[in-house]
Structure formats: C-alpha cells, structure tokens
C-alpha cells in the first residue's frame, strides 16, 4: 500500500457543495432495504472495518438482521465523502469536521452512529530546523487546505497569540507531503500519521504541536444517512455490533489480537510496531459504554462550536451562509447548536448504548 492511498480527512467542500446544494431533495419516503454500502478509507482508526469484512464479522451481524453490508475501500478520502454525499453509500468513515462541512452543509442529513476515537497525537505541526511553535511566524505552511490539518494549525497558532495572518498556507496533497518536506523550500508542514512518523524520521524535523494538545477535537466517526437509518434501524445495530466485536479482538493481548493488529497494519502499509504506535496516539473507544458517554459529553458540543466557527471563517458553510447557525447540529441529549429547523448533522448514543447493554 503506497502513501498516496493513505487519504484521511480531506475536506472536499469546494468540489461538492455547489452541485449538491443546487439539487432539490426528493420528499422523504420510508425505504426499507436489504443491502447497504459503507465506504471507508485507510487510517488507523478505520482499519477495523476491512478486517471485520475479511474475517466474516460483517457477515455474521448482517445475517443476524437479515441484511447484507458491503464494506468498500475508497482510496481517496475526498472521493469517499463525495460518493456518500451523492448517495453512492449509506454509511461512511469520516471526521466530525468533514461530516459537517460536506454532506451536512450540502443538505444530506447525516447521523454519527459510532464515535470511534479521537486523534491524540496522530496529527501534528512539524518545523524544519526549528524547535518552537512560535518559530512558525512568517513561514509558508504546507498542508491539506480546509482539512483538519488546517484546523489543527489554527488551534496551534491561537496558543501562541498568532493567527493565519502570521503565516501563509500552501495547499499540498497528502500524497505529496513527504516529497515536499524533502525539498529545501518547505520548512513547515501539518499532516497526520503515518506521514507524521515518516517525516519525523528526518533529523531536521521537529514536532512543535500535535492533536494531543487539543484532545477530543479531531473525532473519527462512522456516520449513516439519517433517512436510511430512520427507515432501517437494524443497519445501525449491525454496524455497532460489527464495530465493538472487532475492537474487542483488536485490543486483546492475545495471539488473535496481535494477529489482527498485524493484519491491519499490513493493510495500511505499516508494520506491527508502526501500527501499534499509531494506536497509542489514538484515543480509541473500544468499550461501547465509554463511546456512548463521550457522545453525550459537553465536549462534543464545545468542539463542534469551535469547528463551525472555523468553517464559517473560511467560507465553508456555504456561499450564502450569513452566520455559523446556518446548519443545525443535534447532540445525543437532543440539544441543537444552530438552526433547529435545519438540523443536518446528528450525534446519537442509541446504538452504542445498545451495544453496552448487550441489547443488539
């Protein structure tokens, strides 16, 4: 697997919103289905989906509910979001920011059914030959523009009294990041693992800020089209069953657990040690009780408020957005941030609670 396939967290709003927003949504109709499609891309927190598909865990839970679930790898993260938003997939692995900025803003009502983890060091700001974040002032910073890397940079700058006016963002594909770093003109990058680990192998590279300093803000989710979920709740139950059974195997200190981690690492282009290092920089919610509790926590609301302000400031809530309230975000406790009449992004603890209670 090449680094170019490690596509995570690219916000594709500029490719999609115009076309989706301009398309009238058909009246909602109850549609019960027997076959579903989930799109996933390579990232440490999403590798369990492929393993589950290859080891019949997906089939087991699909059979339980009389449905079939196709777990499909999409090599480009942006494209996976595009295809989900266009209706090509029923479910998607995506970050909290990208779920809001693309499908939700584009008019596709989306529900986060699984809060899988949050980045706890996997995303980082790296400087060349400089060891302090303050040294970034005046530099060109290479990153995937409008992605969570961009958000991480903004949050990092705020901790040292700076804003984006103090630097210049250079939009760079994740596929080109390592090569760019090796050129003399590139002195600062913001990216995610495994690219972070590869760049830090260079003795000139210094990590000056990472996602562990903003814990709980870069969240990795499995989301489902809300109408599909409403009409087919068994799909949500099956997804939760698959996920937590697989995670239980993955984290186990057993030969089976080690083999699962090794297989996931290999599939992501990493060896076991590298994959486990990435897991260590990930706050994984392997216990459904913990996942549900985090979904209900005040942290989620506070984080989404920061994110919607970031998106609004960068004109990513739609060209006609007059305020951050243009899209409603509903949380597990029923509270809404933004327009209550235009809720398009939702968090639910229903399926994680069911998994915790053994009621799937």
Q: Report pLDDT for 225.
A: 98
Nearest to 98 by CA among 189, 16, 22: 16
Q: Confidence band (pLDDT; 50, 70, 90) for 29?
A: low
Rg (CA), the chain: 20
Q: Report the C-alpha gap between 171 and 11 in whole angstroms.
A: 12
Q: b vs e for 260-292, b when ≥16 Cβ sit within 10 Å of the residue's Cβ? A: bbbbbbebbbbeeebbbbbbebbbbbbbbeebb
Once rounded to an integer, what is the mean pLDDT over residues 7-26?
43
* Domains of the chain as residue ranges with CATH: 3-118+218-356 (3.40.190.10), 123-213 (3.40.190.10)
Across 89-242, the runs of DSSP E, i.e. the strands, are 91-95, 110-119, 123-128, 140-143, 168-171, 188-192, 205-210, 219-225
pLDDT tens column, 33-89: 999 999 999 889 999 999 999 999 999 999 999 999 999 999 888 889 999 999 999
- In contact, 90 and 80? CB cutoff 8 Å: no
Q: By mean pLDDT, which of 13-17, 38-42, 219-223, 265-269 is the weakest?
A: 13-17
Q: State the burial class of residue 3 (Cβ atoms within 10 Å of its Cβ: 0-12, 13-18, 19+).
A: middle
pLDDT tens column, 258-300: 999 999 999 988 899 999 999 999 999 999 999 999 999 999 9
How many whole angstroms from its chain centre is CA 228? Answer: 20
Pairing of strands 91-95, 336-337: unpaired
pTM of the model: 0.88
Q: Report the C-alpha gap between 260 and 54 in whole angstroms.
A: 11
Q: Report pLDDT for 8.
A: 46
Q: Report the C-alpha gap between 193 and 123 in whole angstroms.
A: 6
Once rounded to an integer, what is the mean pLDDT over residues 140-165?
95
Q: Report pLDDT for 175.
A: 84
Q: Report pLDDT for 340.
A: 97
Tokens of 342: 């235009």
Nearest to 91 by CA among 66, 67, 72, 116: 72
- Tell which wins on pLDDT, 270 or 345: 345
**pLDDT exceeds 90 at position 6:** no
pLDDT tens column, 162-186: 999 999 999 998 889 999 999 999 9
């Amino acid at each position: 697997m090449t680094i170019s396939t490690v596509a995570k967290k690219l916000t594709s709003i500029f490719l999609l919103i115009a076309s989706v927003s301009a398309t009238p949504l058909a009246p909602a109709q109850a549609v019960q289905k027997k076959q579903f499609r989930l799109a996933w891309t390579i990232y440490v927190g999403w590798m369990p989906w492929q393993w589950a598909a290859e080891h019949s865990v997906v089939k087991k839970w699909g059979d339980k509910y009389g449905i079939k679930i196709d777990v499909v790898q999409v090599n480009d993260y942006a494209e996976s979001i595009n295809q989900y938003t266009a209706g090509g997939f029923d479910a998607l692995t995506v970050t909290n920011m990208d779920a809001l900025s693309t499908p939700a803003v584009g008019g596709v009502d989306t529900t986060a059914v699984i809060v899988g983890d949050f980045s706890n060091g996997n995303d980082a700001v790296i400087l060349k030959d400089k060891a302090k974040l303050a040294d970034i002032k005046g530099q060109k910073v290479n990153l995937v523009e409008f992605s969570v890397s961009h958000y991480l940079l903004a949050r990092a700058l705020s901790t040292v009294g700076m804003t984006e006016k103090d630097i210049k963002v250079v939009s760079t594909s994740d596929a080109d990041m390592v090569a760019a770093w090796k050129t003399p003109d590139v002195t600062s990058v913001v990216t995610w693992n495994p690219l972070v680990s590869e760049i830090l192998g260079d003795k000139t590279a210094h990590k000056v800020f990472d996602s562990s300093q903003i814990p709980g803000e870069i969240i990795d989710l499995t989301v489902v089209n809300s109408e599909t979920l409403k009409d087919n709740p068994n799909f949500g139950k099956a997804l939760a069953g698959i996920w937590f059974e697989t995670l239980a195997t993955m984290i186990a200190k057993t030969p089976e657990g080690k083999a699962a981690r090794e297989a996931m690492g290999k599939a992501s282009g990493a060896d076991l040690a590298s994959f486990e290092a990435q897991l260590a920089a990930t706050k994984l919610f392997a216990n459904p009780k913990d996942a549900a509790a985090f979904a209900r926590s005040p942290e989620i609301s506070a984080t989404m408020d920061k994110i919607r302000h970031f998106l609004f400031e960068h004109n990513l809530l739609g060209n006609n957005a007059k305020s951050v309230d243009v899209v409603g975000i509903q949380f597990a406790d029923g509270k809404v941030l933004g327009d209550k009449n235009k809720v398009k992004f939702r968090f639910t603890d229903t399926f994680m609670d069911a998994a915790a209670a053994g009621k799937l």
